[in-house]
Amino acid sequence: MAYWTALDHVLRYQLGWTFPAQGLARWLDEGSPDDVLPLALVRHVWLGDGAVPRYMAWRAQTGADHLPSAWMDQTVETAYELKKEGEPVGPWGLHLEEFGKHVLAPSEEQPPKLTWLHPFEPPAPTQRPRLVGDSEPVLLFRGGLETGWYRALEYAPASAVRVVSEEYGLVGRFHRSPASGRWHTAPEEVHRWGVRPS
């Protein structure tokens, strides 16, 4: 379950892709470069395991994604064997069926613990810290990724923010796409690969 959730998180929230299978198809067409950190992780973990075609097939076959016709023909051929020895658990009929709603909205069982912070200038030895006016705000969240931190970016006081987990550290430096309005950590061109059906 964590294997597929991590892939979905990287594609949908680090890259900001609303159509992850489409974005992956474009990335593969480009030769699957690993010069963008989230895609380097995808290449070395999920592509290396052979899981990317199964994820793409699951997204396309459940109607949640759009693929160019050449890729659609390939995904029809992709079969997923739920209980095959050595296969990772997922994604058909399992945790990812809600397409990341656990990240978009806070859990109903506990209130979200989100705080907007602003960086401070380091103080001189005899002074108190001063707020830096033109620096990026920081969204600090406590708990796991289900705190609703991605949705909180809608209220960001700037077009670029750092997201930090109190427990895990830096999640990333996010910026809002002028084209899609979605938040992501990738270069804008890479973000656009997975946001509109081609």
- 10 Å CB burial of residue 68 (0-12, 13-18, 19+) is middle
Contact (Cβ atoms closer than 8 angstroms) between residue 132 and residue 119: yes
pLDDT band for position 136 (cuts 50, 70, 90): confident
Residue pair 123/100 in contact by the 8 Å Cβ criterion: no
Question: Model confidence over 95-128: pLDDT tens digits?
Answer: 444 444 444 444 444 444 667 676 545 555 565 5
Q: Residues 40-53: pLDDT tens digits?
A: 999 999 999 888 98
Burial environment of residue 177 by CB neighbours within 10 A (0 to 12, 13 to 18, 19 or more): middle
Domain spans of the chain, in order of start? 2-192
Look at residue 5 in the predicted model and tell me its pLDDT. Answer: 83
Answer whether 75's CB lies under 8 Å from 60's CB: yes
Window from 21-35, 92-106, 115-129, 157-171 with minimum mean pLDDT:
92-106
Residue 155 DSSP symbol: G
Residue 3 pLDDT > 70 = yes
In sequence order, which residues have a C-beta less than 8 Å from that of residue 48 and are 6 or more positions away?
none
**174 in Cβ contact with 160 (< 8 Å):** yes
Q: What is the C-alpha to C-alpha distance for residues 62 and 46, in angstroms, rounded to an integer?
A: 20
**DSSP string covering 31-99:** T----SHHHHHHIIIIIHHT-HHHHHHHHHHTTS----HHHHHHHHH----TT-TTPPP-STTSGGGGT
Cβ proximity of 99 and 8 under 8 Å: yes
